[in-house]
Amino acid sequence: MSAQFTTRLDGPGPEREISRDIAKRGLMIAPVLVGVCTAIWGLHGTWSSLYGFALVLVNFLLSAALITMTARISLALMMGATLFGYLMRLGLILLAVLLVRHASWISLPALGLTIIVTHLGLLVWELRFVSASLAFPGLKPRNVSN
């Protein structure tokens, strides 16, 4: 078997550190978006927004776990898991929305807004804190200036 299919990563997984940082920032911003959804859609907006936040944070954490586990086996498996894991996670989000779409407590606009804004907002926000350097994989060290 060629080395490219059997090469694996044994070092620390920066993806776990990054996903935990994203989740931490998500919990910091959650009250603001939940408050906006509550103001617009009432109590249904509150529950929908909380459900959306849970979906997004679980999605990020599941993504990092999938990458961390497969990278320790082989890089080829990690690449496949990244691609097909993305499709699987999109399917899980779709399934989670379809399961509650007719529930009495759901507001689909609030849920959709939360899922979209939270995914994109947290990814853009995290860009400021991720190091694009082999010297510091993962998050930038705190003492390095922007």
In a domain, 37, yes or no: yes
CB-CB contact of 17 with 138 (8 Å): yes
Residue span of the structural domain in which 59 resides: 13-128
With vertex at residue 25, the alpha carbon angle to CA 111 and CA 44, rounded to the nearest 5 degrees, is: 20
- Whose CA is closest to 49, among 41, 59, 37, 57? 37
In a domain, 87, yes or no: yes
- Residue 4 banded pLDDT, cuts 50, 70, 90: low
- Residue 53 banded pLDDT, cuts 50, 70, 90: very high
In a domain, 145, yes or no: no
What is the total count of domains within the chain?
1
Q: What is the pTM of this model?
A: 0.82
In a domain, 4, yes or no: no
Considering only CA atoms, give the Rg of the chain: 18
In a domain, 138, yes or no: no
55-81 pLDDT, tens digit each: 999 999 999 999 988 888 888 888 899
